[in-house]
Chains A and B, each alone.
Chain A
Amino acid sequence: MADIKIEKKKGWKDLPACDYLEAGSAAAFETGDWRSERPVWIPENCIQCLFCWVYCPDSAVVVKDSLMAGFNYKHCKGCGICAVECPGKKGKKAIVMEAEKK
């Protein structure tokens, strides 16, 4: 009969505490290639209301020093919520959607 080695089971203290992922590592994943339309920012029509930022589901509106500073096209999925919510200046939108070129 072959020698059977039975491995001693690990006690609960020897097991790793839990499986963990690095915080916010999803930022490394590109969801921008889902887009069929891209938002384009027109700074001269922007009143810096930040509605685009507060309504973006993908954290893809870049805000620097409390001012809108453009889009993160790596994460933007092109839903167009920002363009709809944008109040613009004198009826001119500061965010418009343009077809994504191939």
Chain B
Amino acid sequence: MVNLKELSKRPELLSGGHRLCSGCGAGIIARQVMMAAADRPVVVANATGCLEVSTTIYPFSAWKAPWFHSAFENAAASCSGIEAAYKALKRTGKVNKDIRFITFGGDGGTYDIGFQSLSGAMERRHRMLYVCYNNEAYMNTGIQRSSATPLGAYASTSPVGKVKKGKEQIKKDLTKVMVAHNIPYVAQSAVGYWNDLITKTQKALDIDGPTFINVLQPCRLGWGYNPADTAVIGRMAVETCFWPIYEVVDGKYKINVKPKEKKPIEEYLKPQSRFKHLLRPENAGIVAEIQKNIDENWAWLLMMEECTNR
């Protein structure tokens, strides 16, 4: 259990004055993760993306922790290298501190471009936490579709017109892929559940091994909603079961938030301009398909929770 009064006494590791959009969810995720990690020495590696670009515009840096960036595709590989060097230095007695390693990557740098380096780092069992701030498209370069973009969503490379109705494919479920790596801790979280994200970060940092948290990040620019509602949209994704919040500890599933009544997906689609074409009567079939996918995935999760906790 986290206490905000206690957390507020810790040093702030991400300063203001960075150039993320007003109301950006990535800033919230980075701050909350760093709040959870601020009670110990921590090293951050960053994949290219919104967070990296806007927090480190030369000659400014918003980070107050050692921070590293080299390229888009190798954030996890860089972090695993730093971790390996740290282990070697610790073995020879040149470093005595107990240091933790965190990697931040967007969905582009995690699902697509950085996927092989992430998979490798997890397989090599480095003690590092990988946090994916998942805004479901390449927002930094102009809202191109990624493999995290959901079915039917508008992106500049999955346009909406007379023929095309947004993205035609369903999104990749990377959390399940990470579970298949048999790592000790995999979790999903969302902006709007600060307690959930901070608790999961603390839990992941205490585990000796690779850990992965996939955080849904509403993007006011690419999703097209009122920036004040960033956390509200994140909660809506969880209440409609579009983005279930759960964790997998040593193969055991636990759903952290079970909505009392599952809201219809239309409530999540309505405030976002990337889905506004789906609300037209001729596109009702796509909405029905999204709802069907959500229902199937939710039923699967409930089943997994039951099976793995017997």
User: Which of A's residues lie within 8 Å of B, judged by CB?
Assistant: 21-31, 34-35, 49-51, 53-60, 63, 66, 72, 74-81, 83-85, 97
Contacts and interface: CB of A to CB of B under 8 A. Distances in A.
B307 interface: no
A54 B25 CA distance: 12
A58 B16 contact: yes
B22 A34 contact: yes
Nearest to B26: A57
A46 to B, nearest CB: 14
Interface of B: 4-9, 12, 14-28, 31-32, 35, 55-65, 194, 220, 226-232
A58 B27 CA distance: 7
A33 B296 CA distance: 47
Given A55-B231, A81-B228, A81-B231, A31 B19 contact: yes
Top-7 shortest CB links A-B = A57-B27, A75-B16, A79-B23, A77-B22, A80-B228, A26-B62, A21-B61
Given A54-B32, A81-B228, A23 B64 contact: yes
B53 to A, nearest CB: 13
A43 B229 CA distance: 23
Interface of chain A, main secondary structure: loop
Contact of B25 (A28, A57, A60, A83): A57
Given A57-B27, A72-B16, A26 B8 contact: no
A49 B194 CA distance: 13
Contact of B4 (A21, A53, A72, A85): A53
A27 B16 contact: yes
Contacts of A23: 61, 63-65
A26 B60 contact: yes
